[in-house]
Homo-oligomer: A and B are copies of this chain.
């Protein structure tokens, strides 16, 4: 696929096309021995065994002999037998509930539902509590709300045989080369020191999950925990039949692999040393009909359009456009993180923004966009320009994707505006946003709320047919996302003055500060820790932004150096929030505002270092609180320092 993308870019005539290799540790299922879950009776005889592969249902390629055995990336290879415990979504509060019910996870196999948090966090918590294995499935309640007849290929809902793959590595990037690029000359830590799970995990379909759930003993799970499989969901531990047990046999291998990023450049006319980076990964767990190929198609179309425009009109963007096709994203943003580690200095000095499209579509309901507050306005403006791909919406008078977005996903806190999600993590912007502090955006067309996620995500059924026959006949939604992505790239590379919304960021910070004070103020005050400097730093940003914007009105747009100066200040604003020492206990995250909470790498939480520490204090035993308060006070001072830095980078003040 890398070769295909590279040769397309060469054909199209990008100015530079290069393959950037990394030697990384990836995880594969055994080619010969399937990963299986078995129910054993008291004599050890096999009562039931799970499917080794997902069943072909519709598209011819689903029956390909090349389909690998069902597996979870980086699961430890192991064969464990024990009692099973149902932990709902496997969130911290779910594990706590199970423990409070008197069920000890230790020595047990955990059965968890996908959908509320990042699967790596489920496995991490299971391991931390002594679990010996994890089984993950998607409940039809969340992914097949219309029953098992109205599923793929009759709809985009999840069929009973679907088993979503995924990684359970916690840290992004190559596991053996933390902080440094996995080049030939890299130093590699021993594999047993790598932050990888030590217990096996396996995904199964919901028809297989039924086999287990329908046999489970112990007390019934709470009403909320009941899914839509036709059984009573019990917590366990173990199966109803005395002496029966569950066996989990995983035969994965961690293997050193060369993964390639493909980097293509259209060199800028006036500021070739300023980059607008567009990225999408090309690796897929199986066919990747949506993830990532809907995005990859959009990127190839964009590079085609830009090169054709250049060829036909001589146009070039003011700044350079850098197209990146990432390898091994599915394993935990491996290709992009290694690249941002290798080129951190140049990217930090020169990159205006990173625009990520992981999948162009995961539905056809509305736009779903995440970004740093700095890009909110420019995304809104682009979305207003893009013709609505939905004929019913057009009929309803909503001409642009923005119009549908604001109706279907309004911002609950900002009446009249669509919801711009906070950036969080979970795709290739991680290294850009959270380590370097490059303003990032991630967009796609998404589904409605009838499912938690896109139902075929990471399964065998994420086929071209799913994209072209079920979600997007005629590829109108793909086109809309490509058009918006391209418009953003043009605006960011062509605008003389970078169209960043400093005011949005400043307001965002103030609101996040208020939220912390509202939620934790009394707790913090009880320690005589003052928040005054922290809130003053927020005000300093507000004031600095006001002054900067006022001065912008008098900017001499004819002076190349004067324009460059304000653009450099705008460019460095997001960088100001980077702490080279990282968040408390999490040196792999450097951005003190946008780093996600450690309890769920997918979601966005502002000031996660502060909030995670405060949450830990609330839950900690008395004897651990002093250390946590010290951590909090230390990090609060670091955050305050960086907020003040952000206020200063908009000036030439060195005092």
Contact = CB atoms under 8 A, between A and B. Distances in A.
A72 interface: no
B342 A641 contact: yes
Given A273-B565, A581-B179, A346 B560 contact: no
A534 B184 CA distance: 11
A511 interface: no
A100 interface: no
A570 B637 CA distance: 34
B271 A655 contact: no
A575 B580 CA distance: 14
Given A343-B648, A575-B345, A637 B561 contact: no
A270 B560 CA distance: 10
Interface in A244-280: 263, 265, 267, 270-273, 275
A268 B636 CA distance: 36
Contact of A186 (B273, B569, B637): B637
A519 interface: no
A590 to B, nearest CB: 9
A270 B561 contact: yes
Interface in A108-151: none
Nearest to A20: B655
Nearest to A561: B560
B183 A641 contact: yes
B533 A187 contact: no
A318 B433 CA distance: 34
Contacts of A185: 533-534, 537, 637, 640-641, 644
Contact of A652 (B273, B640, B649, B652): B273
A572 B346 CA distance: 9
A427 B621 CA distance: 47
A491 interface: no
B180 A637 contact: yes
Contact of A654 (B183, B346, B561, B652): B346
Among A179, A185, A576, A636, which residue has the most Cβ atoms of chain B within 10 A? A185
Given A560-B561, A655-B18, A345 B572 contact: yes
A533 B186 CA distance: 9
A616 to B, nearest CB: 18
A611 interface: no
Contacts of A267: 652
Interface residues of A, number: 58
A642 to B, nearest CB: 9
Nearest to A189: B634
A439 to B, nearest CB: 15
A638 interface: yes
Interface in A395-431: none
A186 B534 CA distance: 11
A388 interface: no
Contacts of A265: 652, 654
A425 to B, nearest CB: 20
Contacts of A271: 561, 565
Nearest to A341: B641
Contacts of A569: 273
Contact of A345 (B181, B272, B537, B645): B645
Contacts of A580: 580
Contacts of A320: 652
B263 A187 contact: no
Contact of A187 (B18, B537, B636): B636
A291 to B, nearest CB: 25
A358 interface: no
A560 B654 CA distance: 25
A322 B641 contact: no
A537 B181 CA distance: 15
Nearest to A632: B187
A180 B638 contact: yes
A634 B19 CA distance: 26
Interface in A335-363: 339, 342-343, 345-347, 349
A265 B572 CA distance: 22
A611 B322 CA distance: 39
B564 A187 contact: no
Nearest to A582: B580
A593 to B, nearest CB: 15
A514 to B, nearest CB: 19
Given A187-B637, A638-B180, A648 B568 contact: no
Which residue, A637, A638, A653, has most C-beta atoms of chain B within 10 A?
Answer: A637
A49 interface: no
A187 B630 CA distance: 9
Nearest to A638: B180
Contacts of A263: 654-655
Contacts of A273: 565, 568-569, 652
Contacts of A275: 654
A470 interface: no
Interface in A40-79: none
A633 interface: yes
B270 A572 contact: no
A239 B561 CA distance: 72
A533 B184 contact: yes
B345 A565 contact: no
Contacts of A572: 345-346, 349
A638 B178 CA distance: 11
Contacts of A644: 183, 185
21 contacts: A18-B654, A18-B655, A180-B638, A185-B533, A185-B534, A187-B633, A187-B636, A187-B638, A263-B654, A263-B655, A271-B561, A275-B654, A322-B654, A342-B645, A343-B645, A343-B654, A345-B649, A346-B652, A349-B649, A560-B561, A580-B580
Given A183-B644, A187-B638, A339-B654, 5 more contacts: A20-B654, A179-B581, A186-B637, A271-B561, A561-B561
In the A-B complex, list the 5 residue pairs whose CB atoms are closest, starting with the nearest.
A185-B533, A187-B637, A18-B655, A580-B580, A560-B560
